Structure 1
């Protein structure tokens, strides 16, 4: 129970990677806050963790809205205590080529993927600095290195990587580490919505030829959260089946 008693806020955690991280942290003894735009689903996910003997709450959180973020952190601290670990997982992907993406799609992608990291990190850091301890784990994407039709998504996730490095430098003197996960193709309900021909092309681009599991990313997140990772900060850990090294371009 290496995270015993720690309070962890995970955004976008009602399903997929975020939920897997919440469950992994709970298994290590953490009290988890499942924050999601879908409050009902967040509460249902938290209830399942509680049924298994964990401590969890689900609450609504629009990470792109400052007031909503502040309210979510206040509710989390009132229920479980000061936040020790923040996982900035909430995000969206809108795949459009440069000639097709709209202003609205660009702004929405940046607001959730990039501004959301800023707002949640600011809220968490305020409490962490006072206690001179904490972990911030940002979920970017292998796509920050660039990929077809992902101008907005890759740009926003590149911003997450840069924010990770800057935050790590700024917060190091307070004993707070800031690290980044860069998943590749992960088997989630969202990915499974893709058409079969799209999935075929994506798998052909994978050096390992297979999808990763949400649990793979959750384990990597736990690695950064562990007490033994106290000297690791400002780093990017790829969970991508080798795609960060090489990807066969789509035909």
Structure 2
């Protein structure tokens, strides 16, 4: 056992989740690297271990109640009670409304929204007992609406509503809840968006950068820096917020 905080990051095998997991480990936390495929988490775990941190790979479907409960129990036993949670797991099932199937809608809602709910509900008891907790959920600028993403946009907007409610309900226990809404971040997921649009990824990056005030697209580390602050001891008076990490004002 250890006196270190234990963080649980979902969807942490790659991209933003991996960057957040590595940053929290660098901040001195033990980190549970969770994704659907446990073996896919090994690279993130190895990177953390090589830098002197402590991490374990955990495989679980965040939309499955039993798997979530088992994962949290395992993390509690192997790393310590999780008092920092980053809800990052997500999938894309993009399509225009008239082409979008009910299955496309439900899968996105289950992973993004139900997954965040189940994970948060599973760890909140540990946070209440510790009288300390940090919950960060990954929203998106798509929460403001985005063509071809009725499911994804709705889920990401829902995460902001969930966050505000968690802040109200859990604040008296020393628990904060915030969301981060990234803009264009260079990840496998945005590469998939380029493919859906029939564009070369580099073409999409150039087009995106031209519309961003800081004149570049974001990197996973840009989001990880913000998550680091929101998960820190010093962020105890910041709660219920949606922070847009988009290289400029978002409206």
**TM-score normalized by structure 2?**
0.92
In structure 1, stretches of 5+ residues that fail to align are 246-251
The aligned counterpart of 1:90 is 89
The aligned counterpart of 2:159 is 160
The aligned counterpart of 1:248 is none
Q: How far off is 1:243 after superposition?
A: 5.8
In structure 2, stretches of 5+ residues that fail to align are none
Alignment deviations for residues 86-114 of structure 1 (CA, whole Å, 9 cap, x no partner): 00000112221111110000000000010
Aligned equivalents of 1:154, 1:78: Cα separation in 2: 36
The aligned counterpart of 1:238 is 244
Aligned equivalents of 2:94, 2:220: Cα separation in 1: 21
* Residue pairs, 1:196-235, within 5 angstroms: 196=200, 197-235=203-241
Alignment deviations for residues 52-109 of structure 1 (CA, whole Å, 9 cap, x no partner): 2110001102101001111111111110111110000001122211111100000000
Aligned equivalents of 1:100, 1:199: Cα separation in 2: 26
Q: Which runs of 4 or more aligned residues in structure 1 lie more than 3 Å from their structure 2 counterparts after TM superposition?
A: 197-209
8 Å contact kept, 2:13–2:35: yes
The aligned counterpart of 2:33 is 34
Q: Secondary structure at the match of 1:212?
A: coil
RMSD: 1.5
Query: Structure 1 residues 94, 209: closer, same or farther in 2, change over 3 A?
Result: farther
Aligned equivalents of 1:74, 1:17: Cα separation in 2: 25
Aligned equivalents of 1:153, 1:214: Cα separation in 2: 19
Q: How far off is 1:51 after superposition?
A: 2.1
The aligned counterpart of 2:122 is 123
8 Å contact kept, 2:92–2:189: no
The aligned counterpart of 2:168 is 169
Query: Structure 1 residues 152, 204: closer, same or farther in 2, change over 3 A?
Result: farther
The aligned counterpart of 1:63 is 62
* Residue pairs, 1:15-54, within 5 angstroms: 15-54=14-53
Q: Secondary structure at the match of 1:190?
A: helix
Paired residues, what number?
Answer: 242
Query: Structure 1 residues 149, 208: closer, same or farther in 2, change over 3 A?
Result: farther
